Amino acid sequence: MAKPILLRHEGSLSSLESTRLERRKLYGYRKRTALDPSGQPCTRAALTEDGALLIRAGMTAQGYFDEGGGWIPTKDLVGLDANGAALPLVPASLGEERALEGPIAPTELLDQAISAVYVLTPLELAPALAESLRAGAIYRFAFNPRADFREDFAYLVSNPDGALFALAGQAVLPEWLTLAQVSATLGDDDADEDDLDFEMF
């Protein structure tokens, strides 16, 4: 059994079991299987750029080759920031107590690119938190299902039926253009001579 999410709110600790919600669980799925001439399922593989090595499924999770051909195990890899400095490893948050922040404005949640949704089953839910969630409050907490070099966050929400969810993602930072920024004009020299003329069809 996976470790629970432990959340501290107004002095009370809540414990929640999490299950990742996957599209295939909601809508089902079909799988296309490639077969060899004898009818056996094929195994996916890829060649390295130089064609010297055959990479089978799961091998890249074990490590990588550097530019000199040296093997680097995954456990030896480190994260780097924009300046090339090593980042500290952020431990997994499951089973570790985390403080709830909020309630937050709904617009903050709308500014997130949600990458995963977790269905939460309360093992122990503080009454004050449950009441606040039923009223539509949204809370934020640090959430890393596994150790990573980036601290992620999730948002605790409830639907009208009282079901609880954690929405994990990263903030979206759009780059806005202004009227003062003029785009480059493409001249006739930039036209592609190979463009199709649809009038000939």
3-state secondary structure 86-117: ECCCECCCCCCEEECECCCCHHHHHCEEEEEE
Tokens of 133: 């969630």
Return the pLDDT at 182: 66
> Strand 54-56 relative to strand 153-158: parallel, antiparallel, unpaired?
unpaired
Name the percent of the chain lying above pLDDT 90: 37
Token pair 């954690």 in the structure block, residue: 166
Residue 105 belongs to a domain:
yes
Return the pLDDT at 184: 63
Q: Per-residue pLDDT for 92 more than 80?
A: yes
Average of per-residue pLDDT values in the chain: 83
Q: Residue 54 forms beta bridges with which residues?
A: 47
Which helix (H) or strand (E) segment is 23 a member of?
A: helix 23-27
Residue 136 belongs to a domain:
yes
Instruction: Give the number of other Cβ atoms within 10 Å of residue 13's Cβ.
Output: 12
Tokens of 159: 């639907």
Residue 118 belongs to a domain:
yes
The 8-class DSSP code of residue 194 comes to T
Average pLDDT over residues 114-129: 93
The 8-class DSSP code of residue 84 comes to S
153-170: pLDDT as tens digits = 999 999 988 899 999 988
Do residues 5 and 16 lie in contact, with contact meaning Cβ atoms separated by under 8 Å?
yes
Residue 45 pLDDT grade (very low, low, confident, very high; cuts 50, 70, 90): confident
Range of the domain at 147: 5-20+96-171
Q: How many residues does the chain have?
A: 201
Residue 12 belongs to a domain:
yes
pTM of the predicted structure, to 2 decimals? 0.69
Q: Which amino acid is at 147?
A: A
Residue 198 belongs to a domain:
no
Residue 152 belongs to a domain:
yes
Q: Which amino acid is at 198?
A: F
Q: Per-residue pLDDT for 139 more than 90?
A: yes
Residue 166 belongs to a domain:
yes
Q: In angstroms, rounded to a whole number, what is the distance separating the alpha carbons of residues 145 and 96?
A: 11
Token pair 């090595």 in the structure block, residue: 53
Residue 188 belongs to a domain:
no
Contacts of residue 133, defined as CB under 8 A and 6 or more positions apart, other chains included, come to 139, 156, 157, 158, 164
Residue 200 pLDDT grade (very low, low, confident, very high; cuts 50, 70, 90): very low
* Domain total of the chain: 1
Residue 125 pLDDT grade (very low, low, confident, very high; cuts 50, 70, 90): very high
